[in-house]
Structure 1
């Protein structure tokens, strides 16, 4: 479909969709995954004591789990993978970030689960705090084989001990599923499993009782979501809400088509314990359609969305548009609204204030130009600049008290997949500024995939660092983003695409096709960039 047999560019959470062709291309030297996993288990079995050491921050990785400690001001990170274009590294280490101390600690915990990614984790307030993980996958270093787990583990956050919970009747082997804590049980939905010859998506539902330690497969009435992975779950006052997701179908032997789902379903139970699906209709200021976004609950009736990617299928390639905006949904009315940064109060100008406002030359900023230029002064205020996380997909987001934390994610830089390990926070009560706690390592230089011949003829400009890519599309939709010095059009489009898409969508007629809207948005961006 794309260059060099490239497949489904931009769908990072669904890793198997990106790796399918590699599985059957070469059978020589494939690792015995079960033997590798057994070796990892044996190594961990020999570790008998808990130890911890200070760390600058975790290494770059994606498809890990991040949870908030239920009783302490800490974030707990586990597992994940790092792919450099040729080789995959899978982890089973645990990191703890102390919010108060602003310190990272790597914890060496005996008998940990074997390395995995695309698993799921939840934290509960029980016995000093617990983190539960289920499923996930392990990839061989050459991406030729994949092993899907169906094991269930619990980590005592107080005693620093892992335990595998042996309970029958649980979900089959899978990754890309989603979990939530609901009424003293862990709820598991969806996911996928892939072999060298086939793939399978799920829409089954399971609960694991945190009091009886038993699995139950739910019998659910109504018309529910189609089989999918990479959706998002959130608990509402009326049940469990399933938002979006991704799946693919095989059109013929060597051709698959992926689809990003934009529908929403509510799973509700009555007093008798019977569950039923119902599709819900969202309204309001809906986010641009996307997949691989992140969602977390910020109040009993509110959830917040961050990031994601929109893929545009072209004849010979796929264009991917990454987002870094925040959107909030009311979990009772299912109405969306933007969660924008608030403008600072207009202050009377003086020499010190004038030197501060708009003085940030960092390109990783968004300019707020929707202030009323009419002030008591004869000259208008300079626009205020905001520091923002760069646009990305598959970020880990978690809320602790009033602070939303965003960790890592992935974006694409031409043929490169850039894995992030930066950490950001924002006070969702104030919504005044993003704070960058950890700057991402520059992993773009580590990418080892060979370039296309046509790419080698393009500009030799140095690509943007992962910490300098951003979207300037915040603020007034009528204000146009600025062109940063030295950037190419592709870099400008990646940074500002969301604003152009939203502007074109708001001006389009109701029956216009989505691809026509995207084409209009890109043309408008070219007019500004090239000045024609």
Structure 2
């Protein structure tokens, strides 16, 4: 037992002060979190306060789901203003250029689909939005049936006044489904039509898609079911003139890339596609599957398609295990574009797996360009003010996503006729911009080292969340958020460049690149972005922020296991009293009292946990969800138990109950138990208690679950 009044030496005193400062900072964060939730507006229509408290989050979720009720009541297309001003947060959506034959406005973008996850619920979207780049204005297009169901990680291309949407996935809390359907949206009639052509590709998402002449070329992708996951390396070709899938099956003996999804694709020359990177799982000698982020590059020669023959593969860049700042190799979730006969990529993430499945992630917000002819990658830097061409930022901005090669084709007379107005201006700048790229590539080639632009967890935390100066207890701004001095309401900070991200929607049109949304992970917290940016790839003088987004107001409703800190965006309610560390101005402390209080607190927590265990029978793993386990995963793991319970509850129909009906009733029983225990498990999570009453090895560790979640994000990535 320590003696009262004992003097503390200098080193110990400094350590105590650091601990005190840490407690003050954590307490200030909690206060800031409460102020944020209490002061935010409660109207989802107010675009300044879209996402904040739990009530607001429910309103946002309602807004996401409200489209079905609106569209079910219409019998003709309706174009209306977007009530929120800008699209709500989303990732794995598609952004595509489109114009009809008669429209004078050649600068319109179409946003379709995507998904949003708040830690509890995953919402998949089916809304179609249109953006006027001249007016910086969004509108929503409501269409009657038929129309494509909600999806993400799909593809969308433009050809002759129509948008074509293929594949994708629907991933919600209680269902997971891959699509193989093909839809056409006519920009003249504003109506959807499903194209039911024979012999379509198998269901998939995360594939690479490019427009070449009047063909839509589909490469790779993945398919996931309850018991199997498949990656593809096949090639499928859809003739947009005859609206038929061509028979271009390749021999199994042909040398071709390994199966993968989420690869980067771009047009090269007049008849080639470059395919780089991607994600998959490979079987090892011990029968376990290991994740693989591909680093090789291939050329797909398209000219044989004109003779009704399969396109041919050529290895272009070999795989490498090295990860450098001069290359995006090793990254997943990048956005890729075709520009000036080169592949341009943005962002991405590199995951480093450590012991016990712990994953450390580094996110990026840089641009990289592949000089396809030289077979090398180089950073594409933003120039300092005055280095680029003079003039203000153009309002004619556009961007597109992984499958944007159709903007760069230029060898189909019909396609060129539709885009003659926009390309005539671009072609005037081709020589200068290409020369400019050459000079920059040469300069970067001479630089042996480049500054690594990655954001690790420490940098993400310090930039994404407000923090506290311990001495003054003053809350200061992060790089995305500051508090209004009058209202204490979080406000967005105008950034000079986009945040790091994966799975963003991007497009390039002419010289203009556009980017919207995506995902950024900060430890266990996942932030779905909704900001929008534009960049003139010819000038590259500055990023222009078209919409600063609402990431500074998002509340993460899921569990957080990465550390013990509470950041302002976690949305975790903590009404506990803010403890003062036991020290005084003279540097004295009562070691015994401190120890007694800690023992008392631990005893109280043990008593609370014991009571919860006994009351809710948490030791039964068949009846208790794992920490962070979704309803669908809970039922999948314990379906035999709940189906048996359901059969016993339904009296007199045991022999007549079909397997489908039995599963439905079993799911209802599991759902009731899941909803009953949700607040209990939330409380245990707040106390820092993991899975209760589960034997070692019966459930995945938190880090293993986090790893699985990251792998799913990679393979679904729409680039």
TM-score of the aligned structures, taking structure 2 as reference length: 0.50
> Pick from 199, 216, 228: which aligns with 1:169?
199
Matches within 5 A, 1:96-111: 96-111=130-145
Q: 1:42-90, CA deviations, whole angstroms, 9 ceiling, x for partnerless residues? A: 9967632111211201111111111122562011100111111121111
* SS of residue matched to 1:92: coil
Matched with 1:66 is 95
Matches within 5 A, 1:391-406: 391-406=500-515
Matched with 2:316 is 280
Question: Which has more radius of gyration?
Answer: 2
Matched with 1:311 is 351
Matched with 1:344 is 385
Matched with 1:52 is 79
Shift of 1:193: 1.0
d(CA) in 2 for partners of 1:182 and 1:224? Answer: 20
Matched with 1:455 is 563
* SS of residue matched to 1:391: coil
Q: 1:291-341, CA deviations, whole angstroms, 9 ceiling, x for partnerless residues? A: 111111122x12211000101011121011110101112333333222111
Cα separation, partners in 2 of 1:79 and 1:270, compared to 1, 3 Å: closer
Q: 1:428-454, CA deviations, whole angstroms, 9 ceiling, x for partnerless residues? A: 1111000111112137743221233x7
The 8 Å contact of residues 556 and 569 in structure 2, kept in 1 or not, is answered as no
Cα separation, partners in 2 of 1:65 and 1:174, compared to 1, 3 Å: same
> Pick from 166, 170, 178: which aligns with 1:148?
178
* SS of residue matched to 2:563: helix
* SS of residue matched to 2:152: coil
Matches within 5 A, 1:85-164: 85-111=119-145, 112-124=147-159, 126=160, 129-140=161-172, 142=173, 144-164=174-194
d(CA) in 2 for partners of 1:396 and 1:213? Answer: 26
d(CA) in 1 for partners of 2:69 and 2:292? Answer: 40
Shift of 1:155: 0.5
d(CA) in 2 for partners of 1:450 and 1:306? Answer: 29
d(CA) in 2 for partners of 1:215 and 1:179? Answer: 14
Shift of 1:386: 7.9
Matched, 1:263 2:263: no
Shift of 1:275: 2.0
Cα separation, partners in 2 of 1:197 and 1:108, compared to 1, 3 Å: same
* SS of residue matched to 1:262: coil
The 8 Å contact of residues 81 and 88 in structure 1, kept in 2 or not, is answered as yes
Matched, 1:442 2:551: yes
Matches within 5 A, 1:374-389: 387-389=496-498
Q: Report the count of equivalent residues.
A: 384
d(CA) in 2 for partners of 1:134 and 1:160? Answer: 18
Shift of 1:160: 0.7
The 8 Å contact of residues 554 and 569 in structure 2, kept in 1 or not, is answered as no
Matched with 1:297 is 338
Matched, 1:225 2:257: yes
CA RMSD of aligned residues (A): 2.9
Q: Which structure 1 segments of 5+ residues have no match? A: 1-39, 347-360, 366-384, 466-532
Cα separation, partners in 2 of 1:291 and 1:157, compared to 1, 3 Å: same
* SS of residue matched to 2:278: strand
Shift of 1:398: 0.6
> Pick from 70, 79, 84: which aligns with 2:113?
79
* SS of residue matched to 2:127: strand
d(CA) in 2 for partners of 1:80 and 1:41? Answer: 15
d(CA) in 2 for partners of 1:180 and 1:70? Answer: 18
d(CA) in 1 for partners of 2:227 and 2:553? Answer: 32
d(CA) in 2 for partners of 1:258 and 1:463? Answer: 30
> Pick from 355, 358, 362: which aligns with 1:321?
362
The 8 Å contact of residues 386 and 541 in structure 2, kept in 1 or not, is answered as no
Cα separation, partners in 2 of 1:208 and 1:443, compared to 1, 3 Å: farther
Matches within 5 A, 1:499-514: none
Shift of 1:287: 3.1
Shift of 1:220: 3.4
Matches within 5 A, 1:484-495: none
Matched, 1:244 2:284: no
The 8 Å contact of residues 206 and 218 in structure 1, kept in 2 or not, is answered as yes
Shift of 1:251: 5.8
* SS of residue matched to 2:333: coil
Matches within 5 A, 1:156-235: 156-220=186-250, 222-235=254-267
> Pick from 405, 418, 432: which aligns with 2:527?
418
Shift of 1:151: 0.4
The 8 Å contact of residues 556 and 570 in structure 2, kept in 1 or not, is answered as no
d(CA) in 1 for partners of 2:522 and 2:316? Answer: 36
d(CA) in 1 for partners of 2:136 and 2:303? Answer: 44
d(CA) in 1 for partners of 2:552 and 2:221? Answer: 29
The 8 Å contact of residues 177 and 229 in structure 1, kept in 2 or not, is answered as yes
* SS of residue matched to 2:241: coil
The 8 Å contact of residues 41 and 113 in structure 1, kept in 2 or not, is answered as no
Q: Larger relative contact order (C-alpha < 8 A, sep ≥ 6)?
A: 2
Cα separation, partners in 2 of 1:461 and 1:113, compared to 1, 3 Å: closer
Relative to structure 2, which stretch is displaced further, 327-336 or 240-249?
327-336
